[in-house]
């Protein structure tokens, strides 16, 4: 379809920019690809160096970090930095909190968005317009805008200093984009599919859970990854919810506090950071293609 | 389309499916939006439940506070610097990576994407050390190659801190914009290029006359997403500078956070007024852009 919009206008394209073409395309065509590759390799170094530096610092003596900051290979490998972060600084606990919060939130968000997207995408019902308008109007709400009432209401519900409170608040915020993704996907599934299911005697929920939800697997994969990333990395909300309960901190909040409390323990900091980032990085490397495909799919819609 | 008017019984099921969203989204997003308006009209210190109605006084005070305007303009400046840098550079990178002639394209993609999956708050803390004036690797490198005599206090100097965080922000979120562009580039059908090549178009022509015009609708969406997320920067700024030194990096979300949670006597009403104003601003920016998206789409249909 796009082909027809551009292809049938060759006359103007040929007629005008003769001169322009020569100088421009000459540069691009002669530009050897290996120079580009070298430049990009330089960029890559810039992109991964902070991670390499962090891992190397996590195995160094604090004095060594101070003395030879650029050297990536430690003199001796000090694994006890990790013990210190994992046991003494409570990172085992933060890791557990983060895993619990992330797993439950992702599950809740994905199922609730799938259900909402299906309802809005396929049915015309009383109040549909209101739901749609509210969702679209709140697409871009910043966390800072809602945080005060969220804390207030959580306090009244007795959920302020609890993981349940964090999970519910994370589940209830944002995620409109996810509903829109499901909406778009469910909308384009042909009606006949449902009709034949009804003929076969399937009820509303059977159709949704046994036919529609499995069909939406690609969207579910995208939604899961996006929610996983945003929840695992969440900072503002867990920070505010755990002011008075350090034992409920997640990794990102614990990290912040770690630096505040141990200003001089650089090796411990680096070890803690490595521990905190390792699970996502491993997951990303393993699922790399799906990550990229999922995000790409989201923008194409 | 296939949206069908549902019979009465089905309507019940439909609303049942919507219930979880209505409940949690209602409680944690819709209600807070409405409640913020009410909170912004009261004086309330956060320690007690008593809220005294003060009318528009909070707004008056917010408007009169030069630190509010400071935060507002810093946020705008941050967006203006960060978004074009990120959007344009990633487009160039994506065009390179999209070329079948480039070796190791997958490797490059993975490397540039790596910071995206890492936790922002943790990256912020690590960057504090990377930019440390005495022993951070950046300063050590600059001193070693002779560019500097002694380390620069990248985060402790009020004229440098915002730019440092802006640089790290671009670094951190580079990969995601790159992926968006790559996805957009893949929607351009190969036949269009072939047809143009037969017509004698060179690489530069292909880029200028075909790739870029076809990317226009995506450009609007990618800019929208980038602007919206840059407006809401909190994690990175809070963990790298905490808004300092001397409020030189205090963006809107940190301003609100400071008044609501870290002030000696929290001013929740005052913070709510600032939050409402900020929320309105974000919405207006988003709305204008959505209108832009629609205009672009309409222009495309007409063509």
Q: Give me the phi and psi of B118, to 5 degrees please.
A: -85, 150
Least confident of A12-21, A203-212, A290-299, B272-281: A12-21
Specify burial of residue B109 (Cβ count, 10 A radius: 0-12, 13-18, 19+): buried
Structure tokens at B104: 């190791």
List the CATH number of the domain containing A146: 1.10.3720.10
For residue B88, what is the enclosing H or E element? Answer: helix B66-98
Using a CB-CB cut-off of 8 Å, the residues of chain B touching A3 are 189, 191-192, 195
Q: Are A231 and A129 in contact (CB under 8 A)?
A: no
Q: Are residues A244 and A130 in the same domain?
A: yes
Region A151-159 average pLDDT: 89
CB atoms within 10 A of CB B46: 18
Q: How far is B128 from chain A (nearest CA, A)?
A: 10
CA B113 to chain centre: 16
User: Could you tell me which chain A residue has the CA closest to the CA of B173?
Assistant: A47
Specify burial of residue B229 (Cβ count, 10 A radius: 0-12, 13-18, 19+): middle
Whether residue A21 lies inside any domain: the answer is no
Chain position carrying tokens 């040929």: A14
Task: Please tell me the predicted confidence (pLDDT) of residue A35.
Answer: 81
Per domain, the residue ranges of chain B are 66-242+278-302
**Residues whose CB falls within 8 Å of the CB of residue B259, separated by 6 or more in sequence, listed in order:** B266, B267, B268, B270, B271, B274
Chains A–B, number of C-beta pairs less than 8 Å apart: 343
Structure tokens at B245: 């030194």
Q: Do A33 and B253 touch (CB under 8 A)?
A: no
Q: Are residues A173 and A245 in the same domain?
A: yes
Task: Please tell me the predicted confidence (pLDDT) of residue A264.
Answer: 66
Domain final residue pick, A35, A60, A80: A80
Bridge partner list, A124: B5
Q: A119: closest CA among A183, A172, A206? A: A183
Residue among A48, A57, A251 minimizing CB distance to B119 = A251
Q: Do B144 and A70 touch (CB under 8 A)?
A: yes
Using a CB-CB cut-off of 8 Å, the residues of chain A touching B108 are 40, 44
Task: Please tell me the predicted confidence (pLDDT) of residue B299.
Answer: 75
Q: Are residues A271 and A178 in the same domain?
A: yes
Q: Are residues A73 and A93 in the same domain?
A: no
The CA distance from B84 to B92, in Å, is 12
Could you tell me which CATH number the domain at B66-242+278-302 has?
Answer: 1.10.3720.10
Residues 106-165 of chain B whose Cβ lies under 8 A from any Cβ of chain A: 107-123, 125-130, 134-137, 140-141, 144
For each of chain B's 303 residues, which pLDDT tens digit applies? 445 566 777 788 889 989 999 999 999 999 999 999 988 898 888 777 777 788 888 898 889 888 999 999 999 999 999 999 999 999 999 988 887 777 788 888 888 988 988 889 889 988 888 888 777 778 877 887 777 777 778 887 877 899 999 999 999 999 889 988 988 888 888 888 888 888 887 778 888 888 888 888 888 888 888 998 899 899 899 988 888 788 889 999 999 999 988 888 888 889 999 999 999 999 888 888 888 777 877 776 665
Q: B257: closest CA among A147, A241, A233? A: A147
The CA distance from A199 to A279, in Å, is 47
Task: Please tell me the predicted confidence (pLDDT) of residue A24.
Answer: 56
Q: Which of B97, B117, B175, B207 is the best residue to mutate to test the A interface, defined by the most A CB atoms within 10 Å of its own CB?
A: B117
Whether residue A110 lies inside any domain: the answer is yes
User: Could you tell me which chain A residue has the CA closest to the CA of B115?
Assistant: A47
pLDDT, tens digit (0-9, with 9 covering 90-100), for A61-115? 777 776 665 677 777 777 888 888 888 878 889 999 999 999 999 999 999 999 9
Q: Do B104 and A270 touch (CB under 8 A)?
A: no
Q: How far is B155 from chain A (nearest CA, A)?
A: 15
Using DSSP bridges, classify how beta strands B42-43 and B52-53 pair: parallel, antiparallel or unpaired. Answer: antiparallel
Q: Are residues A170 and A197 in the same domain?
A: yes
Residue among B17, B33, B203 minimizing CB distance to A119 = B17
Q: A133: closest CA among B288, B30, B7, B284? A: B30
DSSP B136: -
Task: Please tell me the predicted confidence (pLDDT) of residue A6.
Answer: 42
CA B262 to chain centre: 24
Q: Are B266 and B45 in contact (CB under 8 A)?
A: yes
Domain final residue pick, A60, A80, A100: A80
Q: Are residues A112 and A61 in the same domain?
A: no
Q: Are residues A56 and A102 in the same domain?
A: no
Q: How far is B51 from chain A (nearest CA, A)?
A: 13
- The total domain count for chain A is 2
Q: Are B96 and A36 in contact (CB under 8 A)?
A: yes
Task: Please tell me the predicted confidence (pLDDT) of residue B166.
Answer: 94
Q: Are residues A161 and A129 in the same domain?
A: yes
A69 in B contact zone (CB under 8 Å): yes
Q: Are B70 and B250 in contact (CB under 8 A)?
A: yes
Handedness of CA A89, A90, A92, A98 (dihedral sign): negative
Q: What is the pTM of this model?
A: 0.85
CB atoms within 10 A of CB B4: 14
The CA distance from A215 to A193, in Å, is 11
Q: Are residues A71 and A124 in the same domain?
A: no
For A88-92, the CB contacts below 8 A with 24+ separation are A89/A254, A89/A258, A89/A262, A89/A268, A89/A272, A90/A246, A90/A247, A90/A254, A91/A251, A91/A254, A91/A272, A91/A275, A91/A276
- Is the pLDDT at A281 greater than 60? The verdict is yes
Whether residue A14 lies inside any domain: the answer is no
Q: A69: closest CA among B138, B146, B220? A: B138
CB atoms within 10 A of CB A56: 22
Q: Do A44 and B27 touch (CB under 8 A)?
A: no
Using a CB-CB cut-off of 8 Å, the residues of chain B touching A169 are 28
Q: Which of A147, A180, A193 is the best residue to mutate to test the B interface, defined by the most B CB atoms within 10 Å of its own CB?
A: A147
Task: Please tell me the predicted confidence (pLDDT) of residue B237.
Answer: 92
pLDDT, tens digit (0-9, with 9 covering 90-100), for A173-225? 878 888 988 998 888 888 888 888 888 888 888 888 888 888 888 888 888 88
The CA distance from A153 to A169, in Å, is 10
- Is the pLDDT at A158 greater than 50? The verdict is yes
Domain hosting A173: range is 89-299
Mean pLDDT of chain B: 85
**Widest pairwise Cα distance in chain B:** 78
Whether residue A22 lies inside any domain: the answer is no
Task: Please tell me the predicted confidence (pLDDT) of residue A19.
Answer: 47
Task: Please tell me the predicted confidence (pLDDT) of residue B142.
Answer: 81
Task: Please tell me the predicted confidence (pLDDT) of residue B5.
Answer: 62
Q: Are B199 and B44 in contact (CB under 8 A)?
A: no
Q: Are residues A274 and A191 in the same domain?
A: yes
CA A70 to chain centre: 31
Q: Do A188 and B2 touch (CB under 8 A)?
A: yes
Region A18-25 average pLDDT: 51
Cα separations in angstroms, B268 against A122, A160, B47, B56? 42, 17, 10, 14
B218 in A contact zone (CB under 8 Å): yes
pLDDT, tens digit (0-9, with 9 covering 90-100), for A136-145? 888 888 888 8
């Amino acid at each position: 379809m796009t082909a027809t919009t551009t292809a049938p206008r060759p006359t103007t394209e040929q007629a005008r920019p003769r001169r322009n073409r020569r100088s421009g395309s000459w540069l691009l065509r002669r530009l050897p690809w290996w120079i580009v590759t070298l430049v990009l390799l330089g960029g890559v170094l810039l992109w991964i160096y902070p991670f390499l530096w962090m891992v190397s610092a996590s195995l160094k003596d604090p004095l060594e970090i101070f003395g030879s900051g650029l050297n990536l290979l430690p003199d001796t490998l000090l694994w006890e930095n990790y013990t210190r972060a994992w046991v003494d600084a409570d990172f085992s606990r933060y890791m557990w909190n983060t895993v619990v919060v992330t797993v439950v939130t992702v599950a809740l968000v994905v199922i609730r968005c799938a259900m909402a997207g299906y309802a809005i995408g396929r049915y015309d019902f009383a109040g549909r317009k209101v739901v749609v308008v509210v969702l679209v109007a709140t697409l871009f709400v910043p966390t800072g805008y809602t945080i005060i009432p969220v804390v207030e209401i959580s306090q009244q519900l007795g959920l302020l200093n609890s993981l349940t409170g964090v999970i519910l608040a994370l589940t209830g915020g944002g995620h409109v984009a996810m509903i829109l993704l499901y909406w778009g996907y469910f909308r384009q599934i042909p009606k006949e599919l449902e009709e034949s299911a009804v003929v076969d005697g399937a009820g509303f929920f059977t159709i949704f859970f046994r036919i529609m939800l499995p069909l939406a697997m690609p969207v579910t994969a995208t939604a899961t990854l996006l929610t996983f990333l945003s929840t695992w990395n969440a900072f503002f909300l867990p920070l505010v919810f755990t002011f008075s309960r350090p034992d409920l901190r997640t990794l990102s909040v614990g990290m912040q506090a770690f630096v505040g409390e141990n200003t001089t323990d650089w090796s411990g900091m680096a070890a803690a950071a490595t521990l905190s980032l390792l699970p996502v990085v491993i997951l990303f490397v393993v699922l790399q293609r799906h990550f990229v495909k999922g995000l790409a799919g989201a923008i194409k819609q | 389309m296939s949206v069908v008017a549902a019979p009465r019984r089905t309507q019940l099921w439909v609303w049942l499916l919507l219930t979880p969203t209505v409940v949690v989204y209602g409680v944690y997003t819709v209600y807070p939006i409405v409640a913020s308006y009410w909170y912004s009209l009261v004086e309330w210190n956060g320690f007690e439940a008593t809220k005294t109605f003060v009318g528009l006084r909070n707004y008056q005070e917010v408007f009169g506070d030069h630190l509010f305007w400071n935060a507002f303009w810093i946020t705008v400046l941050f967006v203006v610097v960060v978004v074009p840098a990120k959007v344009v550079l990633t487009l160039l990178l994506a065009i390179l990576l999209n070329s079948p002639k480039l070796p190791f394209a997958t490797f490059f993609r993975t490397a540039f994407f790596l910071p995206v999956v890492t936790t922002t708050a943790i990256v912020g803390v690590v960057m504090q050390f990377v930019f440390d004036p005495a022993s951070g690797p950046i300063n050590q490198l600059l001193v070693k190659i002779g560019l500097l005599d002694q380390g620069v206090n990248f985060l402790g100097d009020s004229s440098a801190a915002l730019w440092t965080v802006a640089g790290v922000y671009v670094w951190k979120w580079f990969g995601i914009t790159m992926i968006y562009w790559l996805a957009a580039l893949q929607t351009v059908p190969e036949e269009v290029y072939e047809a143009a090549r037969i017509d004698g178009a060179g690489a530069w022509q292909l880029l200028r006359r075909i790739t870029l015009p076809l990317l226009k609708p995506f450009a609007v969406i990618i800019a929208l997403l980038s602007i919206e997320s840059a407006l809401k920067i909190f994690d990175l700024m809070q963990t790298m500078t905490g808004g300092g030194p001397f409020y030189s990096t205090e963006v809107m979300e940190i301003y609100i956070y400071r008044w609501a949670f870290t002030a000696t006597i929290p001013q929740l009403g005052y913070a709510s007024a600032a939050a409402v104003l900020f929320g309105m601003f974000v919405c207006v920016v988003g709305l204008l852009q959505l209108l832009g998206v629609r205009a672009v789409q309409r222009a495309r249909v007409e063509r």
